[in-house]
Structure 1
Amino acid sequence: MATIVYQKDKRSGITYAYESISYWDKDKQQSRSKRTLIGRVDSKTGEIVPTDGRGRKKKEGGQAVTKRGPDPSVQTARYFYGATYLLDEIGSHTGIAEDLKACFPGTYRQILSIAYYLILEDSAPLYRFEKWNHLHKHPYGENITSQRSSDLFASITEDAKYKFFRLQGKRRTEEEFWAYDITTISSQSELLRQVQYGWNKENDPLPQLNLALVFGETSNLPFYYRKLADNIPDSKTVGNLLADLDVLGFSKVKLVMDRGFYSKENINALLKDHVKFLIAVKVSLVFIRKELDAIYDGFRSFEYYSEKYELYGRTVRTKWDYTQHRPYKGDTLTQSKRMYIHFYYNIDRAAEDEKAFDRKLITLRQELESGKRQPEHDKLYQKYFETKTTPKRGTKVTVNAEAVNKAKRYFGFFALMTNETMDAITALELYRNKDVVEKAFGNLKERLNMRRTLVSSEKSLDGKIFVEFIALIYLSYIKKQMQDTDLFKNYTLQGVLDQLDVIECFESPGKKLRIGELLSKQKEIYESLGVIPPTSL
Structure 2
Amino acid sequence: MAIINQLDKRSGITYVYESVSYWDKEKKQPRSKRTLIGKLDPDTGEIIPTDGRCRKTRDNPEDAKATKPGPIPIERTNRRFYGATYLLDEIGDTLGLTEDLKKCFPATYKQIQSLAYYMILESESPLFRFEKWSALHKHPYDNNISSQRSSEIFSDISEENKNKFFTLQGRRRSEGEYWAYDTTSLSSYSQTLRQVQYGKNKEDDRLPQLNLALIFGEKSGLPFYYRKLAGNIPDDRTVQNLLADFMVLGFQKVKLVMDRGFYSETNINGLLKERLKFIVAVQTSISFIRKEIDTVYETIRSFENFDEQHELYATTVLAKWDYRQERPNKKDALTNKKRIYLHIYFNIDKFAEDETKFDRKLMAMRKEILDGKRVPEHERFYKKYFQIKQTPIRGLQVNVNEDVVKQTKRYYGYFVLLSNEKMDAMTALHLYRNKDLIEKAFGNIKDRLNLRRLLVSSEKSLDGKLFVSFVALIYLSYLKKQMQEAGIFQNYTLQSLLDKLDIIECFENPGYDLRVGEVLTKQKQIYESLDISPPT
Q: How does 1:68-467 map to 2 (within 5 A)?
A: 72-467=73-468
Equivalent residue, structure 2, for 1:508: 509
User: After superposition, what is the alpha-carbon deviation per residue over 1:163-219, rounded to whole angstroms, capped at 9, x for unaligned?
Assistant: 000100011123000000000001121101000123424333321110000000000
CA contact (8 A) 1:322 1:334 kept: yes
User: After superposition, what is the alpha-carbon deviation per residue over 1:389-442, rounded to whole angstroms, capped at 9, x for unaligned?
Assistant: 123433110001111111111111100000011000000000000011111000
Equivalent residue, structure 1, for 2:44: none
User: After superposition, what is the alpha-carbon deviation per residue over 1:26-46, rounded to whole angstroms, capped at 9, x for unaligned?
Assistant: xxxxxxxxxxxxxxxxx989x
Q: Distance in 2 between matches of 1:199 and 1:243?
A: 24
CA contact (8 A) 1:127 1:145 kept: yes
Equivalent residue, structure 2, for 1:493: 494
User: After superposition, what is the alpha-carbon deviation per residue over 1:467-517, rounded to whole angstroms, capped at 9, x for unaligned?
Assistant: 000000000000111111111111111111111111111111211111111
Query: Bigger CA drift: 306-315 or 198-207?
Result: 198-207
Q: CA deviation at 1:71?
A: 5.8
* Closer, same or farther: CA 198–331 of 1 in aligned 2, 3 Å: closer
* Closer, same or farther: CA 459–300 of 1 in aligned 2, 3 Å: same
Q: Distance in 2 between matches of 1:130 and 1:485?
A: 35
CA contact (8 A) 1:279 1:416 kept: yes
Q: CA deviation at 1:123?
A: 2.2
* Closer, same or farther: CA 70–470 of 1 in aligned 2, 3 Å: closer
CA contact (8 A) 1:198 1:230 kept: yes
SS for the counterpart of 2:396 is strand
SS for the counterpart of 2:333 is strand
Runs of 4+ in 1 over 4 A off after TM superposition: 69-72
Q: Distance in 2 between matches of 1:122 and 1:484?
A: 24
Q: Distance in 2 between matches of 1:370 and 1:498?
A: 61
CA contact (8 A) 1:111 1:467 kept: yes
SS for the counterpart of 1:297 is coil
Q: CA deviation at 1:107?
A: 0.5
Q: Distance in 2 between matches of 1:135 and 1:358?
A: 61
Q: Distance in 2 between matches of 1:232 and 1:220?
A: 27
Q: Distance in 2 between matches of 1:44 and 1:106?
A: 12
CA contact (8 A) 1:385 1:400 kept: yes
Q: Distance in 1 between matches of 2:330 and 2:189?
A: 49
Q: Distance in 1 between matches of 2:512 and 2:436?
A: 48
* Closer, same or farther: CA 72–331 of 1 in aligned 2, 3 Å: closer
The amino acid of 1:521's aligned partner reads K
Q: Distance in 2 between matches of 1:281 and 1:70?
A: 56
CA contact (8 A) 1:369 1:395 kept: yes
Q: Distance in 1 between matches of 2:200 and 2:334?
A: 39
Q: Distance in 2 between matches of 1:393 and 1:297?
A: 42
1:483 is aligned to 2:484: yes
Equivalent residue, structure 2, for 1:40: none
CA contact (8 A) 1:72 1:512 kept: no
Q: Distance in 2 between matches of 1:246 and 1:454?
A: 33
SS for the counterpart of 1:440 is helix
CA contact (8 A) 1:73 1:508 kept: yes
Q: Distance in 2 between matches of 1:200 and 1:496?
A: 33
SS for the counterpart of 1:342 is strand
* Closer, same or farther: CA 517–378 of 1 in aligned 2, 3 Å: same
Q: CA deviation at 1:72?
A: 4.5
CA contact (8 A) 1:180 1:212 kept: yes
User: After superposition, what is the alpha-carbon deviation per residue over 1:26-71, rounded to whole angstroms, capped at 9, x for unaligned?
Assistant: xxxxxxxxxxxxxxxxx989xxxxxxxxxxxxxxxxxxxxxxx976
CA contact (8 A) 2:199 2:233 kept: no
SS for the counterpart of 1:226 is strand
The amino acid of 1:453's aligned partner reads L
How many residues get paired? 470
User: After superposition, what is the alpha-carbon deviation per residue over 1:54-92, rounded to whole angstroms, capped at 9, x for unaligned?
Assistant: xxxxxxxxxxxxxxx976522221111000000001001
Q: Distance in 2 between matches of 1:431 and 1:306?
A: 16
Q: CA deviation at 1:281?
A: 0.2
CA contact (8 A) 2:184 2:202 kept: no
Q: CA deviation at 1:154?
A: 0.8
Q: Distance in 1 between matches of 2:400 and 2:518?
A: 75
Q: CA deviation at 1:463?
A: 0.5
Equivalent residue, structure 2, for 1:58: none
Q: CA deviation at 1:376?
A: 1.4
Q: Distance in 1 between matches of 2:311 and 2:392?
A: 53
The amino acid of 2:453's aligned partner reads R
Equivalent residue, structure 2, for 1:63: none
Q: Distance in 1 between matches of 2:81 and 2:376?
A: 63
Q: Distance in 1 between matches of 2:163 and 2:169?
A: 10
SS for the counterpart of 1:75 is coil
Please, what TM-score do these two structures have when normalized by structure 2?
0.86
SS for the counterpart of 2:107 is coil
The amino acid of 2:207's aligned partner reads L
SS for the counterpart of 1:488 is helix
List alignment gaps of at least 5 residues for structure 1: 1-42, 46-68
Q: Distance in 1 between matches of 2:514 and 2:195?
A: 48
CA contact (8 A) 1:174 1:253 kept: no
User: After superposition, what is the alpha-carbon deviation per residue over 1:91-146, rounded to whole angstroms, capped at 9, x for unaligned?
Assistant: 01101111111011001100000000000112211111111001000000000110
User: After superposition, what is the alpha-carbon deviation per residue over 1:243-293, rounded to whole angstroms, capped at 9, x for unaligned?
Assistant: 001100011100000000000000000000001000000111111110110
CA contact (8 A) 1:190 1:207 kept: no
Please, what TM-score do these two structures have when normalized by structure 1?
0.86
Q: Distance in 1 between matches of 2:441 and 2:234?
A: 21
SS for the counterpart of 1:336 is strand
Q: Distance in 2 between matches of 1:482 and 1:226?
A: 28
Q: Distance in 2 between matches of 1:307 and 1:432?
A: 17
* Closer, same or farther: CA 314–447 of 1 in aligned 2, 3 Å: same
Q: Distance in 1 between matches of 2:335 and 2:200?
A: 38
Q: Which has the larger radius of gyration?
A: 2
